[in-house]
Each structure stands twice: as C-alpha cells, then as structure tokens.
Copies of this chain bind each other. A is one copy, B any other.
Amino acid sequence: MIAAIGERFPGRAELIVGIGDDAAVVRAADGRVVATTDMLIEGRHFRREWSSARDIGGKAAARNLADIAAMGASPTALLVSFAGPGTLEVAWVLELAEGIAEESAAAGASVAGGDTSSADLVMLAVTALGDLGGRAPVTRRGARPGDVVALAGALGRAAAGLALLSAGLTAPGTGLEYLIRAHQRPDPPYDAGPQAASLGATSMIDISDGLIADLGHVAAGSEVRMEVESALLTAEPVVRPGSLARAAALLGGIDWLPWVLAGGDDHALAATFPPGTALPGRWTIIGKVSRGDGVLVDGRRWNDAGGWDHFRT
C-alpha cells in the first residue's frame, strides 16, 4: 500500500531525496525554510460521512500550505503522517493520498515523505515546508498605524456550508452547493502570499479561526488596532451576499454576518500594506490599521459570544 501511495506522489525538482529513506531532502535555495504542522482528527476536524477521502486529504494539505503562503513563502514540500483503522478500505486511503497530491500540486509542492500507523480513528498530521525566495518573512508583528487591511480569497463560505450540512441540507439545485463545497475543500489563494510579500506587506495571516479572531492575532502581535468596514467586507468579491442570505433563510432566517466575521476554514489571506500601495485586483481593502488594540467593525467590537459589544470600544 505504501508503494501505491508513493506512486500518487510524483516528486518535483525541489525534492533531492523523496519518499523511502529515513528522511527527505528538500531544496531550500533561500538558505531558510518555512515550516508548519497540524493534525486533523476524525470526528473533530472532519467526518467521513460528510467529506470524501479526496476532500479530507485536500483539506489537510490546504490548511498547512495556506500557512506557508501566509508567511509570504511558496510551498515546496509536504510530509504526511497517517493513522487509521485496519478495516479502512485501501481505495479510501489511496483516494486520500490523491487528494493530498492534488492540493500539493496546486500549491506547487510535492509530497516528500511520511509515516503510516494504525489507530481506531483516521488521523492525519501534515507538515508543509516553503521557500521565501529571498524575501523577508511576513509575520503577524509588522502592521503599523496608517496601513490598509486587505483580503485575498473568500470569507464565510465554509461556515455557511457547515451550517447547511449540520442541518441536513445538502442544497442540490439551489446554487448554494458551492458553500458546501467550500466547507469540504478550501481553495486558498496560495500565490497571493508571495505576491503580498513582494508588494511590501507589513503583516499577514491565514484566516482559519475567523476574520475577527485572526485579525486579533495580528493586532496583538503588532500592538495596533485593526478597523474593518462592514460595507467593504460584506460585498463581492469577499462574499456573495445574496447567496449567504439565501443560505441563512434556508436555516430559518438566521443572521449570516457571523459566518463572515467568525467563520473559519476558508483560508483567505489577510495582510496589511503601507498606505498607497497599488494592490492587484485580487486584494480587496477591508479597513485600516490605527493606534490602539483589538479589532473594530464599523467602530464596534464583536465579542466572543458572536454579538456586538457596545461598551468596550
């Protein structure tokens, strides 16, 4: 099975030693390597009844590849540890490997190595490596008052899709299938990361915990306040307001703004740029950086309970 998995992971030029030795050797021409890791556990991060093996593999890869992009780096390689029950079908595991390989290729990286073991649940631990191409890493610590806050990629889709799935609504024929698809398989704007670095981004983050939470990490890291304007945030191209409203209506007329402000898993990139930076069309300005702390939306704080807090601005 390991050989069959290996066949699904063609090596690229970055791979000096690939699968099958004690360790892989990956080119790091820059003299630095960017590295990130996380774990996906069945029942906590995905459900086999809601997502195909291909999508689970793709998602596991995408989460880590997006973190590499968020440093301003280009992904070069993935390492994958996989554990699962002995009763798992070989075809399922191979499809998982294909999902990982696809997403990896989409980001320009190759699968360099990994490990398999048995466990009662399916578990995936993915490590992604990346190359900065001579650029400085873009961290969470460099945002400055006066910078603009901009976003590449979509918000609120994965959260809306998860809400639909949780309610048993698979949305066929509604035109909302893309929301469910966004939950099953994120589509991070990988090359926007190195692009932002080249444009002089002062800070950047992958939106995986929700916009407010993740901008909060940048605000804390940079010791600034992030001020977002909802009118910039809740229009295309960041969201398609009409379809989020329709999904919310299907769910009994709930408020769709929390999906946009607090929904994770879309893996958009948020970055700050010096004022006046000429931004390509894929980057949408959604606000600005000011002195202070925390994150404001239209001058108000969004609290952890998912509502507005009028008393703590």
Known A32-B16, A44-B117; judge A68-B23 contact (CB<8 A). yes
Contact code string A30-43 (vs B, CB < 8 Å = 1, else 0): 11111111110100
Q: A123 contacts which of B16, B20, B30, B39 (Cβ < 8 Å)?
A: B39
Asked if A79 is an interface residue, CB under 8 A from chain B, the answer is yes
Contact yes or no, A71 B36, CB < 8 A: no
Classify chain A's interface size: 35 or more
Contact yes or no, B137 A25, CB < 8 A: yes
Contact yes or no, A113 B23, CB < 8 A: no
Contact code string A88-123 (vs B, CB < 8 Å = 1, else 0): 000000000000000000000000111101110001
Copy number in the complex reads 2
Q: Which residues of B contact A71 (CB under 8 A)?
A: 17, 21-23, 25
Query: Which of the segments A125-133, A176-184, A252-260 contacts the partner chain?
Result: A125-133
Q: A36 contacts which of B23, B68, B118 (Cβ < 8 Å)?
A: B23
Q: A22 contacts which of B36, B45, B112, B118 (Cβ < 8 Å)?
A: B36
Contact yes or no, B22 A67, CB < 8 A: yes
Contact code string A78-93 (vs B, CB < 8 Å = 1, else 0): 0111110000000000
A33 to chain B, nearest CB (A): 4
A223 to chain B, nearest CB (A): 14
Q: Which 10 A-B pairs have the closest CB atoms?
A: A125-B125, A23-B36, A28-B28, A38-B115, A39-B81, A22-B70, A127-B127, A37-B79, A22-B67, A28-B33
Report 29 cross-chain contacts, Cβ distance below 8 Å, ordered by A residue. A17-B139, A20-B140, A21-B71, A22-B36, A22-B205, A23-B34, A23-B35, A23-B36, A23-B67, A23-B130, A25-B32, A25-B35, A25-B137, A26-B32, A26-B34, A28-B30, A33-B33, A35-B77, A35-B112, A35-B113, A36-B113, A37-B127, A39-B81, A39-B117, A41-B83, A41-B119, A119-B123, A123-B123, A125-B125
